[in-house]
Amino acid sequence: MKVKYVLVLLFFYFQLGIANASGIEGGSWGGKVRSGPGKEFSQVGSLNNGDPVILIESTSIFLDGYEWFKIIYNNNSVGYQWGGILCGFEIKIAGTYSVCEKDNRDSSSLNRAVNYNWVSSSNGSVMLSKMIQGGQNRNNIPLFLCRAKFNGGIHPGKINLKKHKGCHIAWGGIEYEISNPSNWEYAISAANSLANQRWQTRSGGAIPSSAVKTGQEANGVFLYTCRAKFNSGIHPGKIHSEFGGCNIPYGGREHTIFEYDVLVN
């Protein structure tokens, strides 16, 4: 077996704070995958129309108005593809052509059952190819699911690998960054599939019966992971019924959004 993709860098470890690591789930319109960001580089693979990829690096190299991206494809292979043949499954991704015409993921994101695991960051390092994206900010930078120990509880939150030094949570009306690696974890999918997750839409504090318990208050009340639209983005946060909505950390404050999605099994 060709060792080219070499265990793909052992789950593709990245250090937090690398400015060009993005990790956005997208798709391809099909075509060649190359060894570098340009047509002059050799072909290392190919994709079909609708195949899923993860955009892991913006190269700032453009062709006909579209950027070349470093991608993970076919689970753990790494290469480069031109943004003119890349796309987003639900929304257009900056630097790519359009919304995807086809979707060759296992099934739609609402129907892919999954088990979730929580793992600690190792000295600030994460397994980017396994992380679960719960939303994105208004600049299309992905926000991944995390949870952190704080004030005697464990609180679901979000992490932006380009900006944050740890897990951001909401508590007592304030946004907190928990940067000590021993005090926060991030979510990965136990299934061997890209961005494998399920969400159900609710409002007013309602929680689906299949919601995943991802944290708890200091008094033992369970908390669940939610996500909500806010300021032109979608932000992960936490919920239990008494909140009346999804509490998200943003701009130094805790915001309650009354229409939201809840992470479910």
Residues 82 and 151 in one domain: no
3-state SS assignment for residue 46: strand
pLDDT 10s digits, 212-231: 899 999 998 999 999 999 99
Domain that holds residue 91: 16-99
Of 72, 99, 126, at which residue does a domain stop?
A: 99
- Nearest alpha carbon to residue 77 among 59, 54, 50, 107: 54
Residues 59 and 151 in one domain: no
Residue 243 belongs to a domain: yes
Residues 213 and 141 in one domain: yes
Tokens for 66, please give them.
Answer: 């579209």
Taking the alpha carbons at both ends of the chain, their separation in whole angstroms is 35
The CATH number of residue 37's host domain is: 2.30.30.40
Residue 9 belongs to a domain: no
Residue 184 belongs to a domain: yes
**Sheet containing 66-73: order of strands:** 43-47, 31-34, 77-82, 66-73, 52-63, 21-28, 86-88, 98-99
How many domains, in total, are found in the chain?
2
Residues 227 and 160 in one domain: yes
Are residues 129 and 11 in contact, defined by beta-carbon separation less than 8 angstroms?
A: yes
**C-alpha to C-alpha distance for 13 and 130, rounded to whole angstroms:** 10
Residues 174 and 145 in one domain: yes
pLDDT 10s digits, 51-85: 988 887 888 899 999 999 998 888 678 899 999 99
Residue 249 belongs to a domain: yes
pLDDT 10s digits, 149-200: 999 999 999 999 888 989 999 999 999 999 999 999 999 876 544 444 678 8
Residue 167 belongs to a domain: yes
